[in-house]
Chains A and B, each alone.
Chain A
């Protein structure tokens, strides 16, 4: 009988012990391949807060979870346009308490001012990493197949005569209407935010004209692989994707050399924001993590690892030499001046765009 009691006590004991030992947990939901794992480790050691790290590879997944409410995440990383702007308007994000983020002073005010257009007063988010949408390519293949085509213009991909010549080595456009259409509209000389039917028809015609020459329309993760293995030689995608692919190609050492070029005359600019869902279970820990991430040495480690620029200028001297010197990672001031941030569209316009995209993918 006594043995039985002891056994019962042993079985029940953990139930009571658990709450006492409970360690604060921070649930982070971020893009795939978008942090230096060492940073997470260091935060856990410093604060004793355990990080549960979860990843997504499309904004649709993130927004879908947040729109349902009670996502359980404490920190999310939506792109400024369209998701962050929309989440701010929907009241899905918690206003940040700047008193808990002393490292806010490290942020580049000029970049933060750009995001204030969609989040007045920068109340709901700080910039994590940012970049442009442009062309990733193998320069030697471009010179060999289309010697007269410009390398720093979307002409390289969107002019059918160039696309036809380059199709042999593999062309791709990333599968994201929100990230591709603004560039196409801008290239056509129309507004990147246009909802005008004639503009959209022109953009669709331009995309369909090169559709037969495209080898694939992959998601951003798959596109990095295709660029790195040399399965494609030219792609319209995020700057950091190309830079990551270039690093992977160098490691593989199979002679694939990749370069990124933001389109001359203005590139589509985007910011990924650190934000806290309105119903986050542990907002204190989320604030602590944001503050930690804004330390120059932490941001430098992240940029060195994922090769996207950050918004903490003091981190720049600490970034790994090769990444710091890469003009593709940190674009020149002049290139930034003409860059544009697309704005959020009404629902009907979004639907028109996603249908255009479905027709483009189908090729008719």
Chain B
């Protein structure tokens, strides 16, 4: 009974905020698009007391038949993977620095990592537009220093897109790494050093492997939101970056095809469950 009480809140949470929305999404994905408010026919119609199925699998089938969507998925996964990898690369030295700092300094350092969140997400991304555009600060500086003759196209490039992603999601990679590194018993590293390992060997053979679960968590925490990201590619990315978030927006708003948009969202959800399963395997090992 007690066990049930303890487990109830997380299950309720999952049911209300994960299972129920996914179910609604699935129902919309199985609906037929139609002109109306909302713009689809519900897949289940009530004829008197009996429910009648009038849905269709067309939208889900379209996703597999039309390689437009597969291409969007692949480029999203690529951009998300690159962003997460870059975040890890930057986050690792930061996390190591924080974990090895004097205990009294750790909290202020962690707060500094979180400080960008004090500013809203949109102004932070918007600021990059001002910095990167042709008449922006970066190009202004380059021109004044005489390094370039004409403004270098910086905004609306893949570089700008990755920059925005890393800037927005870096703290998500730092925090789990710090936690993992703090959990690490310093005695293990000392033992390795006592046995004659160089600092680099200690890091490579002891610190790094033991912090891998933290690194994997950090990678996922960046990868998952980055894969579905819409705002950053839209504001900073090149027009040819056709990521899932933008394709989804286009189906929903421009083509008003809610069932197809819902099918895309479901597919994204499914695609992201896979790395989470892999992570669980890694954790339990």
Chain B CB within 8 A of A44 CB: no
Contact of A278 with B37 at beta-carbon distance under 8 Å, contacts A358-B242, A364-B240 already known: yes
Residue in B33, B239, B252 with the greatest tally of chain A CB atoms within 10 Å: B239
User: How many angstroms from the CA of A363 to the CA of B238 in the assembled complex?
Assistant: 11
Contacts of B240 in A (CB 8 A): 361-364
Q: Which stretch, B179-187, B194-202, B254-262, B276-284, touches the partner chain A?
A: B254-262
User: How many angstroms from the CA of A66 to the CA of B252 in the assembled complex?
Assistant: 13
Chain A CB within 8 A of B36 CB: yes
Chain B CB within 8 A of A251 CB: no
Structural contact, B253 and A61, CB atoms closer than 8 A: yes
Residue in B36, B68, B239, B254 with the greatest tally of chain A CB atoms within 10 Å: B254
Interface residues contributed by chain A, number (CB under 8 Å): 25
User: How many angstroms from the CA of A66 to the CA of B37 in the assembled complex?
Assistant: 8
Chain A CB within 8 A of B97 CB: no
Chain A CB within 8 A of B39 CB: yes
User: How many angstroms from the CA of A214 to the CA of B250 in the assembled complex?
Assistant: 23
Chain B CB within 8 A of A334 CB: no
Contacts of A69 in B (CB 8 A): 37-38
Other-chain contact of B35, A64, A89, A358, A364 (Cβ < 8 Å): A89
Structural contact, A347 and B37, CB atoms closer than 8 A: no
Other-chain contact of B37, A92, A363, A364 (Cβ < 8 Å): A92
Chain A, range 64-98, C-beta contacts under 8 Å to B: 64, 66-69, 86, 89-92
Structural contact, A90 and B239, CB atoms closer than 8 A: no
Structural contact, A63 and B256, CB atoms closer than 8 A: yes
Chain A, range 338-364, C-beta contacts under 8 Å to B: 347, 350-351, 354-355, 358, 361-364
CB distance from A343 to the nearest CB of B (A): 15
Structural contact, A67 and B37, CB atoms closer than 8 A: yes
Structural contact, A91 and B253, CB atoms closer than 8 A: no
Structural contact, A91 and B256, CB atoms closer than 8 A: no
User: How many angstroms from the CA of A63 to the CA of B39 in the assembled complex?
Assistant: 10
CB distance from A148 to the nearest CB of B (A): 29
User: How many angstroms from the CA of A89 to the CA of B34 in the assembled complex?
Assistant: 10
User: How many angstroms from the CA of A350 to the CA of B253 in the assembled complex?
Assistant: 12
Contacts of B68 in A (CB 8 A): 355
Chain B CB within 8 A of A60 CB: yes
Contacts of A86 in B (CB 8 A): 35, 256
Nearest residue, chain B, Cβ from A86 = B35
Structural contact, A60 and B36, CB atoms closer than 8 A: no
Contacts of B250 in A (CB 8 A): 354, 358
Contacts of B256 in A (CB 8 A): 63-64, 67, 86, 347
Describe B's contact surface by its main secondary structure: loop
Other-chain contact of A351, B239, B242, B253, B257 (Cβ < 8 Å): B257
Contact of A354 with B242 at beta-carbon distance under 8 Å, contacts A67-B37, A90-B39, A92-B37 already known: no
Structural contact, A60 and B242, CB atoms closer than 8 A: no
CB distance from A99 to the nearest CB of B (A): 26
Structural contact, B38 and A347, CB atoms closer than 8 A: no
Type the 1/0 row for A139-170, where 1 means its CB is closer than 8 Å to any CB of B: 00000000000000000000000000000000
User: How many angstroms from the CA of A47 to the CA of B43 in the assembled complex?
Assistant: 46
Other-chain contact of B38, A67, A217, A350, A354 (Cβ < 8 Å): A67
Structural contact, A60 and B254, CB atoms closer than 8 A: yes
User: How many angstroms from the CA of A23 to the CA of B84 in the assembled complex?
Assistant: 52
CB distance from A207 to the nearest CB of B (A): 13
Contacts of A61 in B (CB 8 A): 253
User: How many angstroms from the CA of A61 to the CA of B35 in the assembled complex?
Assistant: 17
Nearest residue, chain A, Cβ from B68 = A355
User: How many angstroms from the CA of A91 to the CA of B37 in the assembled complex?
Assistant: 7
User: How many angstroms from the CA of A67 to the CA of B253 in the assembled complex?
Assistant: 10
Structural contact, A354 and B39, CB atoms closer than 8 A: no
Residue in A67, A217, A354, A363 with the greatest tally of chain B CB atoms within 10 Å: A67
User: How many angstroms from the CA of A90 to the CA of B38 in the assembled complex?
Assistant: 9
CB distance from B104 to the nearest CB of A (A): 44
User: How many angstroms from the CA of A90 to the CA of B34 in the assembled complex?
Assistant: 8
Contacts of A354 in B (CB 8 A): 250, 254-255
Type the 1/0 row for B55-88, where 1 means its CB is closer than 8 Å to any CB of A: 0000000000000100000000000000000000
CB distance from B34 to the nearest CB of A (A): 9
CB distance from A356 to the nearest CB of B (A): 12
Structural contact, B37 and A90, CB atoms closer than 8 A: yes
Nearest residue, chain B, Cβ from A215 = B134
CB distance from A217 to the nearest CB of B (A): 7
Nearest residue, chain A, Cβ from B255 = A351
Contacts of B238 in A (CB 8 A): 362
Nearest residue, chain A, Cβ from B252 = A64
Contacts of B242 in A (CB 8 A): 358, 362
Residue in A64, A86, A91, A363 with the greatest tally of chain B CB atoms within 10 Å: A64
Nearest residue, chain A, Cβ from B254 = A354
16 extra interface residue pairs, beta carbon distance < 8 Å, beyond A60-B254, A92-B37, A347-B256:
A61-B253, A64-B252, A64-B253, A67-B37, A67-B38, A67-B39, A69-B38, A90-B37, A91-B37, A92-B36, A217-B239, A351-B255, A354-B255, A355-B68, A362-B238, A362-B242
List the 5 closest pairs (A to B, CB-CB), nearest first.
A362-B240, A60-B253, A361-B239, A90-B35, A69-B37
Q: List, sorted by A's number, 21 A–B pairs whose CB atoms are closer than 8 Å.
A: A64-B253, A64-B256, A66-B37, A67-B39, A68-B38, A69-B38, A90-B35, A90-B36, A91-B37, A217-B239, A278-B37, A347-B33, A347-B256, A347-B257, A350-B255, A351-B257, A354-B254, A361-B239, A362-B238, A362-B242, A364-B240
Q: Which residues of B contact A (CB under 8 A)?
A: 33, 35-39, 68, 238-240, 242, 250, 252-258
